[in-house]
C-alpha cells in the first residue's frame, strides 16, 4: 500500500520539509535541542544561538573542540545588525553577496544574545545570511539567529544530503530533508577585523568575485586569527587520499575530473568547477567504502577550484599528522 511520501519514505530522523516538521524543528531548538538543517552550501547542525544547552549539544554531538567557534546564521541584515558592528565595507559585501555563501567575521556587540560557548571566548562573530528557504524559514519561526557548524562529526567530511547527517549522528539528530545542497562546499569566510579584509577560508563564493567587487585583493590571514576550519586536520575520509593522480593504482578508487578515463566517479565529466564543488563531499563519502585509498585527479586551481583544492589538501593532510 502506498501512502503519503512524508509517512512512508522517510526514516524517523529524516524529516520532510513541511509546516509540521518545521514547527517541530523550531520547538526542538527552543527546548535546547539540535536539528540538521540544509543550507545552500552544506547541511548545518543547528541550535538556537541563545541556547546554552543547544550550543553544548552541538559540541557534544560533533565532538568539536571547545576552542572552535560557531557561525551565526541570520535571516536579514537587521538581525545581523543586532549582533555585530557593521562597517561600510561589511554593508557593501552584504549588499553584493547576501543572502549567499559568504561569512563575515565582525566585532561583536556587547551583551548579544549568543550563548558564550558558541563564540569560544572571542570578541568577534562569524555571521552569514544564507540563501536557503529551509534555514531562513526556521530562523523566522524561531525568531532568533541560529548557530550551525557543518553537520558532520568534527574533522570528517561535510554533509551535503540529509542521509549524510543521519549517518554521522547515528539517528540521534533529526534532519530536515532539503535534498542535495546546491553549492556543496562551505561558505567563504572573510574577516573584517583588521585594516584589510582577509580570506580566512576559501569557499562557495569564489574569492575572485569578492576581490572584483572590492577592487583589491583579499589579504592572507594573519597567524593570530583563529579559524579551525583552516587547521590541517579537517574534511577527512577514512581512506587515504592521493591528490593530483593521473590514474588509480591497485587498491585505490579513482575520483576523476573532466572525464578522467577509468574513474569510479567523476566530479564533473564536463570539467565544470561548480558541479565538482557540488559533488565533492558526496563523492568522497561514496568512495570512502573501505578501500585503502582514493586517487583524486588534478583540479584546476582557479575560481571554485581554489576551495576544492583547499578541502582536498586538508583531507589528504590529516592522515600524515
Neighbours of 23 (CB within 10 A): 12
Which range touches ligand TXA (CB under 6 A), out of 52-60, 84-92, 185-193, 259-267? 185-193
* Virtual torsion, Cα 154, 157, 161, 167, nearest 10 deg: -60
Residue 166 interacting with ligand TXA (CB under 6 A): no
CA distance 198 to 157: 25
Contact (Cβ atoms closer than 8 angstroms) between residue 267 and residue 255 = yes
Q: Is the Cβ of residue 42 or residue 248 nearer to ligand TXA in the bound state?
A: 42
For residues 36-65, which are near ligand TXA according to CB under 6 A? Answer: 39, 41-42, 44
DSSP, collapsed to helix, strand or coil, labels residue 56 as: helix
**Could you give the maximum distance between any two Cα atoms of the chain, in Å?**
64
Find the residue with minimal CB distance to ligand TXA: 229
Residue of 71, 206, 245, 283 that binds ligand TXA (CB under 6 A)? 71
Cβ at position 35, least distance to ligand TXA in Å = 12
122 near ligand TXA (CB under 6 A): yes
Q: Which of 35, 148, 283, 297 binds ligand TXA (CB under 6 A)?
A: 148
Q: How far is the CB of 160 from ligand TXA (least distance, A)?
A: 11
Query: For residues 39 and 318, which CB has a smaller minimum distance to ligand TXA in the complex?
Result: 39
> Cβ distance 200 to 225 under 8 Å?
yes
6: burial class by Cβ within 10 Å (0-12, 13-18, 19+)?
middle
124 binds ligand TXA (CB under 6 A): yes
**187 binds ligand TXA, rule: CB under 6 A:** yes
Q: Tell me if 248 contacts ligand TXA by CB under 6 A.
A: no
Q: Which of 24, 52, 56, 68 binds ligand TXA (CB under 6 A)?
A: 68
**Closest CB to ligand TXA among residues 42, 276:** 42
The site string for Mg ion over 132-171 (x = CB under 5 A, - otherwise) reads ------------------x---------------------
Beta carbon nearer to Mg ion, 21 or 128: 128
Q: Applying CB under 6 A, what is the total number of residues that bind ligand TXA?
A: 27
Give the pairing of strands 252-256 and 293-296.
parallel
Burial 212-248, CB ≥16 within 10 A → b, else e:
eebeeebeebeeebbbbbbeeebbbbebbbbbebeeb
Residue 160 within binding range of ligand TXA, rule CB under 6 A: no
Q: Assign 3-class secondary structure to 69-100.
A: CCEEECCCHHHHHCCECCCHHHHHHHHHHCCC
279 near ligand TXA, rule: CB under 6 A: no
Q: In the stretch 97-116, what mask flags binding to ligand TXA with x, by CB under 6 A? A: ----x-x-x-----------
Residue 32, all three cell numbers: 535546547
Return the beta strands (E) in the chain as ranges.
Answer: 14-16, 35-37, 44-48, 71-73, 102-107, 124-128, 146-147, 175-177, 188-191, 198-201, 240-242, 252-256, 265-266, 293-296
**Cis omega (within 30 of 0) for bond into 99:** yes
Residues in the site for Mg ion, rule: CB under 5 A? 150
Residues in the site for ligand TXA, rule: CB under 6 A? 39, 41-42, 44, 68-71, 101, 103, 105, 122, 124-126, 148-150, 186-187, 189, 200, 225-229
Amino acid at each position: 500500500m502506498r501512502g503519503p511520501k512524508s509517512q512512508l519514505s522517510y526514516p524517523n530522523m529524516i524529516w520532510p520539509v513541511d509546516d509540521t516538521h518545521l514547527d517541530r524543528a523550531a520547538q526542538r531548538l527552543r527546548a535546547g535541542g539540535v536539528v540538521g538543517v540544509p543550507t545552500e552550501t552544506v547541511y548545518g547542525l543547528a541550535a538556537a544561538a541563545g541556547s546554552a544547552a543547544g550550543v553544548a549539544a552541538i559540541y557534544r554531538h560533533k565532538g568539536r573542540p571547545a576552542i572552535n567557534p560557531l557561525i551565526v546564521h541570520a535571516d536579514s541584515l537587521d538581525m545581523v545588525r543586532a549582533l555585530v558592528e557593521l562597517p561600510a565595507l561589511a554593508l557593501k559585501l552584504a549588499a553584493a553577496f547576501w543572502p549567499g555563501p559568504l561569512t563575515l567575521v565582525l566585532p561583536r556587540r556587547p551583551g548579544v544574545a549568543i550563548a558564550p560557548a558558541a563564540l569560544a571566548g572571542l570578541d568577534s562573530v562569524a555571521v552569514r545570511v544564507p540563501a536557503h528557504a529551509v534555514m531562513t524559514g526556521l530562523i523566522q519561526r524561531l525568531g532568533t539567529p541560529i548557530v550551525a557548524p557543518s553537520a558532520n562529526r568534527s574533522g570528517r567530511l561535510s554533509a551535503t544530503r540529509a542521509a549524510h547527517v543521519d549517518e554521522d549522528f547515528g539517528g540521534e539528530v533529526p534532519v530536515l530533508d532539503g535534498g542535495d545542497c546546491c553549492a556543496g562546499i562551505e561558505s567563504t569566510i572573510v574577516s573584517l577585523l583588521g585594516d584589510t579584509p582577509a580570506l580566512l577560508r576559501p569557499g562557495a563564493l569564489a574569492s575572485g568575485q569578492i576581490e572584483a567587487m572590492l577592487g583589491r585583493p583579499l589579504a592572507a590571514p594573519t597567524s593570530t586569527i583563529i579559524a579551525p576550519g583552516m587547521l590541517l586536520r579537517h574534511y577527512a575520509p577514512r581512506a587515504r587520499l592521493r591528490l593530483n593522480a593521473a590514474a588509480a593504482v591497485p587498491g585505490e578508487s579513482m575520483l576523476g575530473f573532466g572525464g578522467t578515463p577509468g574513474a569510479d566517479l567523476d566530479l564533473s565529466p564536463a570539467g565544470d568547477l561548480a558541479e565538482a564543488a557540488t559533488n565533492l563531499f558526496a563523492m568522497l563519502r561514496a568512495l570512502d567504502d573501505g578501500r585503502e585509498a582514493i586517487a583524486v585527479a588534478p583540479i584546476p586551481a582557479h575560481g571554485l577550484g581554489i576551495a576544492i583544492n583547499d578541502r582536498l589538501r586538508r583531507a589528504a593532510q590529516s592522515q600524515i599528522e
